[in-house]
Amino acid sequence: MSNAEVADKLASFGQLLSSQPEKNPYKVRAYQKAAALIRVLPASLDEMVRQEVDLTGLPGVGEAIADAIREIVLTGSLGRLESLRAQSSPELARISDYPRLDPKRVLRVYKKLNIASIEGLRDALDAGLIEQQLGMRMAQHVRQALMPVEAMLLYKADALRASVEEFLVGPCDARRVEVAGGYRRRTEVVDELTFLVEAEDFAAVVRTMQSYGGETPLVRAGKSSAAFGLSAGIVLRLRQAYPTNWGLSLIACTGSMSHLRKLSAVTGSIAKLRASGDAFPDEESLYAQFGLGFIAPELREGLDEVRRAQMGTLPALVSVDDIRGELHAHSLSSDGSNSIEQMAATAQMRGYEYLGITDHSQSLKIAGGVSPDDLWKQVRYIDRLNERLSGIRILKSSEVDILQDGSLDYPDDLLKELDYTVCSIHSRFGLGKEEQTERIMRAMDNRYFNILGHATGRLLLKRPGYEIDVARVVMQARQNGCFFEINSSPDRLDLSAENARMAGEAGVKIAVSTDAHSVREFGLVRYGIDQARRAGLEKSSVLNCLPLEHLSSLFRR
């Protein structure tokens, strides 16, 4: 019994429960949370049940859900799920085979499009009818729920990577293991994990891997490679490699495809290299043999990196150690969970020289937007705080809403008191591209506008973000002396690497910010740095790699 099967049943139960008239939404959530946890659990629930391990030790699992798990493992089914299915309409029962579908939303689609089956749903999706009649969100929801393979945010894959790697060198007895693929290139979303594996007996590794997380089904197996379906919903690929050619294999498995195409124009095909008998124990040796500088994995997307490696003009990519401060962070004054002092102490522990406090502005009521009066008070408070702090400087700032007409959410005489501003859109996502672009450009005309926060508003795997003409906004920023941010929040990573590259090439500096809402979130900066590196940014292009004096002069327009 795989963890995935257990998770599916719990999720289906939660799903059916949610369409019951007298449901307890917290109960629904409890089942869904437990299912989500189980999907990424490395230990085998099947084994845990048989060894009578106390399941309530798992977070989100109490007596009731522990019983359910035991029942599923020991009998193969869940009574309460089956009786709920029996009570449900046939449509609803079929929907419950797809635990990621939200039944209430699907029933709305059924009614609107006059369909009554999963097949009908799939057809309507493919024909674009769902997007047309019920909007992009709904279409995205249905698409994601029907897809066999789930995509996963990079930061979630981090934990999974560590757990699989441990399993490979532990129970699987691999001698050497290294992750490759899109994960190594730090793409923001991954749908597979690829590992290079050196082992005495590769077939045995493949056999043992199938017991990861209870059971991890083998999808495809060759002599020197294998693919598995992880409970977490993504594919796990293993590829056998040898010490003499480790570097060559690593390049091949790291990709991307378009990078390899451009690379092989210089080196000849990978297959030929493999057959040549030359040894490439590491990547550097291969690049060096063809007169190329080392190309960082984050750059291997088939843009200009191979040409630049030939000319010796690859960028010296920014790294986490280059960061000197944080420019987007919230405190208790709006929707953060820690005081300014606590945030400052943590920033200082990280070795930062400055910390900008950017609480939400007055219009954003739900996030505890700060009234003008309270911001005046906060400005004076931070002045006094700075007098007694040493080693770190708190910058007076705000995450100022860009209102629908492009005006900013505070009067100029208040904005003037701030060291700088982060200005963001939090409302009216539905405006057309032209209108949205104009809105931001108008906002940039305000001399107190400094950094554009999360420029497109996207939430990865959830929502595409509003439409703007990024190229025009970049030009406006350059002209007006404004800056962008890469928001490091793992479900935003906004600007995208592509847009950040565009801004960087136009000479517009970018803040790599965390948007931290608590002291725990400062560390997320590494995900922003991943994207900055994918954008080819050097530290000279990153705003918060600059010393404070330089920064302050850039913020005065």
Partner DNA sequence: GCCGTTTTCGGCCCGACTGTTTTCAGTCG
Binding site for DNA (CB under 7 A): 24, 26-27, 29-31, 34, 56, 59-66, 104-105, 108, 112, 134-135, 137, 335, 360, 364-367, 426-430, 454, 457, 459, 463, 515
Residues 199, 205 contacting (CB under 8 angstroms)? yes
* Minimum distance, C-beta of residue 374 to DNA, in the bound complex (Å): 16
Nearer to DNA, 163 or 337 (CB): 337
- Is the peptide bond between 256 and the residue preceding it cis, with omega within 30 degrees of 0? yes
Q: Three-state SS string across 403-450, please?
A: CCCCCECCCHHHHCCCCCCEEECCCCCCCCHHHHHHHHHHHHCCCCCC
* Nearest alpha-carbon partner for 14 in 23, 22, 4: 23
* Minimum distance, C-beta of residue 336 to DNA, in the bound complex (Å): 10
376/448 Cα distance (integer angstroms): 16
* Minimum distance, C-beta of residue 62 to DNA, in the bound complex (Å): 3
* Minimum distance, C-beta of residue 499 to DNA, in the bound complex (Å): 16
* Nearest alpha-carbon partner for 152 in 194, 190, 195, 187: 190
Nearer to DNA, 285 or 363 (CB): 363
* Minimum distance, C-beta of residue 524 to DNA, in the bound complex (Å): 14
Residues 424, 453 contacting (CB under 8 angstroms)? yes
Residues 370, 378 contacting (CB under 8 angstroms)? yes
Q: Three-state SS string across 29-44, please?
A: HHHHHHHHHHHCCCCC
296/321 Cα distance (integer angstroms): 17
Nearer to DNA, 28 or 537 (CB): 28
Nearer to DNA, 71 or 298 (CB): 71
**Sign of the four-CA dihedral 498, 504, 509, 511:** positive
459/37 Cα distance (integer angstroms): 21
Nearer to DNA, 240 or 487 (CB): 487
- Amino acid letter at 438? E
* Minimum distance, C-beta of residue 380 to DNA, in the bound complex (Å): 25
* Minimum distance, C-beta of residue 492 to DNA, in the bound complex (Å): 8
177/194 Cα distance (integer angstroms): 10
* Minimum distance, C-beta of residue 24 to DNA, in the bound complex (Å): 5
Name the burial class of residue 167, with classes exposed (0-12), middle (13-18) and buried (19+) by CB atoms within 10 angstroms of its CB.
Answer: buried
Nearer to DNA, 140 or 552 (CB): 140
276/267 Cα distance (integer angstroms): 12
* Minimum distance, C-beta of residue 258 to DNA, in the bound complex (Å): 32
Nearer to DNA, 104 or 550 (CB): 104
* Minimum distance, C-beta of residue 457 to DNA, in the bound complex (Å): 5
197/451 Cα distance (integer angstroms): 44
* Minimum distance, C-beta of residue 366 to DNA, in the bound complex (Å): 3
Instruction: Read off the DSSP letter of residue 291.
Output: T
Nearer to DNA, 267 or 361 (CB): 361
Nearer to DNA, 365 or 384 (CB): 365
First-to-last alpha carbon distance for the chain, in angstroms, is 63
DSSP of 95-154: HTTSTTS-HHHHHHHHHHHT--SHHHHHHHHHTTHHHHHH-HHHHHHHHHHH-SSPPEEH
